[in-house]
Amino acid sequence: MESYLLGPLANLDFGVHFAIVGQGEDLVFGGWNVSRVLVAMSGGVDSSVAALLLKQAGYDCVGVFLRTGAQTKAASRGCCSVEDARDARLVADRLGIPFYALDAKQEFSRIIDYFVAEYSRGRTPNPCAVCNQWLKFGELFEIARELGADKVATGHYARIEAGSIRRGLDAGKDQSYFLFGIGPAVLERVLFPVGALPKSRVRELAEEAQLPVFGKPDSQEICFVPGNDYRNVLRERAPETLQPGEIVDEQGTPVGTHEGVAGFTIGQRRGLGVALGYPAYVLELDVETRRVKVGAKQHLLRTDFRAEPVAWYTEPLEAELDCTVQVRYRHRPVACRVRPSDGELQVALQTPVPAITPGQAAVFYRDDVVLGGGWICS
C-alpha cells in the first residue's frame, strides 16, 4: 500500500492538534462501529501481535502510532522513535490495515512537564503510568470516536474481566501495575489481546505471521530519557532544579556535596560519592534545604504510608480493607490494610517494605485483580 498525507484535520477536536499520515482506504468519520478497533501500535512485537490477533478474529482494525517528538534517533531503546514508527507502518502494511501516525507532541509535552515537576518536588515520577492515564487511554478514545471505532486495543500484558483489570498471565511481563489509573469508566472499551499469552508465544505468533518485528528487543528506556539519565532532561527543561547542596548522614553531619536534590531518589545507592564505612542509601530528600540524607539500608524500611487515590474498581472504599499492595513495578506485593481518611488512603503494611517513594504508584490487589491505586505522597 502507498502511504498518503491527509494533513491536519481542523474539524477534529482532540484537545491537541494532530497531523495524520495514513495508508490504505479512507475511513468514514463520526459515529460508533462496535466491530472497529483502534489498535495503538508502538512498533514493538506486543502491539503488532495484538493487531494480528484482532484482525484474525474478524475485527475492523485501524493502526495508530503516536508521534511524541521524544525521540528522533533510530537507535533509541524507547518506544516512540523514528524506527518504531517505520516498524509499525510495515506491520500494518503486512496485515493490510489502515495506519495513521498522529502528532501528539503537544499532549506528550505535558507528561514531560509532569516528570520534571515531580523531581523538582523531591518525588520520583512514574511517566509510564501517567502516559497510560492521559494519552493512551485518554486522548486515544477521542481519536477512536472520530475514526468510528468503539474500542481501543494495546499490547499490554494485562486482562480485563468483570469490569476489573487483572494481571497478565505471564508473571514476568505483567503490566497491570501501570494501568491502575486509566479509570473504570473506559474499561468496557479496552482490549488487551496478548494479556493471556506468554511472551514466548507472542514472538512465535509474530514469526509465524512473518511480521518484521518478531525478534525486535523490548523497550528498555523511558522514551524521552535517552541513555536512562533523566538528569539530562532536568538540565534541559528545568536547570534551576539542579542546585548544589549537602549530603548528610543520619545525624545531620555533612559527608559530601551534590549537584541537585532532583538528581536523587529514595533508596538510591549508586552515584552518591560518599564513604560512610558501610553501604549508604538515600533516606530522605529535602528540597527546601537542598539536603540529601543518606544512611544504612535498614533505615529505609517502612510499615505505613499515605497515598492519594486515583481510581477504584470495586465498590467505593468507605471502610478498612485487607488486600495486598505493590509499590514498585518489580516489587513483590505485600499484605496490607487500607483505610480512607480525609481524601487519602492510609496504608498499614503487614511486612516492612524498603524505599517507599513519594510520587510512585501504590496499586492494590486481591489475588490477581486490581482493586485500585493512587500516588504515594508520604
Q: Record the cell numbers describing residue 196, joined without a space.
A: 493471556
How many helices (H) does the chain have, and how many strands (E)? 7, 19
The pLDDT, as a whole number, for residue 79 is 58
Alpha-carbon gap, residue 331 to 357, rounded angstroms: 12
Residue 14 in this model has a pLDDT that exceeds 80 = no
The pLDDT, as a whole number, for residue 220 is 67
User: Percent of the chain having pLDDT more than 70?
Assistant: 87
The pLDDT, as a whole number, for residue 50 is 97
The pLDDT, as a whole number, for residue 369 is 95
Alpha-carbon gap, residue 226 to 117, rounded angstroms: 19
Q: What is the phi-psi region of residue 122: left when phi exceeds 0, alpha when psi lies from -120 to 50, beta otherwise?
A: left
Query: Average pLDDT, whole number, for the chain?
Result: 85
Positions of CATH 3.40.50.620 in the chain? 15-227
Q: Which residues pair with 344 in a beta bridge?
A: 341
Tell me the per-residue pLDDT of 288-317, one tens digit each, with 9 for 90 and over. Answer: 999 999 999 999 999 999 999 888 887 667
Alpha-carbon gap, residue 166 to 367, rounded angstroms: 9
Q: What is the assigned CATH class of domain 243-295?
A: mainly beta
User: Please, are residues 76 and 101 in contact by the beta-carbon 8 Å criterion?
Assistant: no
> In the CATH scheme, what is the code of domain 15-227?
3.40.50.620
Q: Record the cell numbers describing residue 177, joined without a space.
A: 501495575
For residues 132-143, average pLDDT: 87
Alpha-carbon gap, residue 204 to 132, rounded angstroms: 27
Per residue, what are the HEC states of 46-67? HHHHHHHHHHHCCCEEEEEEEE
Cα dihedral 140→141→143→147 (10° resolution): 130
The one catalytic residue in 131, 323, 336, 377 is: 131
The pLDDT, as a whole number, for residue 6 is 26
Q: Using alpha carbons, select from 217, 191, 193 the residue that is nearest to residue 203.
A: 217
The pLDDT, as a whole number, for residue 21 is 33
Cα dihedral 252→255→260→266 (10° resolution): -70
Alpha-carbon gap, residue 108 to 345, rounded angstroms: 29
Confidence of residue 76 (pLDDT cuts 50, 70, 90): very low
Tell me the per-residue pLDDT of 85-133, one tens digit each, with 9 for 90 and over. Answer: 999 999 999 999 999 998 888 888 899 999 999 999 999 999 999 998 8
Of 224 and 276, the one with more pLDDT: 276
Its pTM stands at 0.85
Positions of CATH 2.40.30.10 in the chain? 300-376
Residue 164 in this model has a pLDDT that exceeds 70 = yes
Tell the CATH superfamily of the 300-376 domain.
Translation factors (2.40.30.10)
Q: What is the phi-psi region of residue 264: left when phi exceeds 0, alpha when psi lies from -120 to 50, beta otherwise?
A: beta
Q: Which residues, 6 or more positions from 227, have their beta carbon under 8 angstroms from its beta carbon?
A: 221
Positions of CATH 2.30.30 in the chain? 243-295
Q: Record the cell numbers describing residue 28, joined without a space.
A: 468514514
For residues 260-265, average pLDDT: 91
Whether residue 223 lies in the annotated active site: yes
Tell me the per-residue pLDDT of 178-203, one tens digit each, with 9 for 90 and over. Answer: 999 887 888 889 999 999 999 999 99
Side by side, the strands of the sheet bearing 19-23 are 3-8, 19-23, 99-103, 60-67, 36-40, 151-153, 190-191
The pLDDT, as a whole number, for residue 194 is 97
Residue 39 in this model has a pLDDT that exceeds 60 = yes
User: Percent of the chain having pLDDT more than 90?
Assistant: 62
Residue 155 in this model has a pLDDT that exceeds 70 = yes
Residue 268 in this model has a pLDDT that exceeds 50 = yes
Burial of 331 (0-12, 13-18, 19+ CB in 10 A): middle
The pLDDT, as a whole number, for residue 156 is 96
The pLDDT, as a whole number, for residue 314 is 74
The pLDDT, as a whole number, for residue 137 is 87
99-103 vs 19-23, strand pairing mode? antiparallel
Whether residue 131 lies in the annotated active site: yes
Of 227 and 159, the one with more pLDDT: 159
The one catalytic residue in 128, 223, 323, 336 is: 223
The pLDDT, as a whole number, for residue 135 is 86
For residues 39-51, average pLDDT: 96
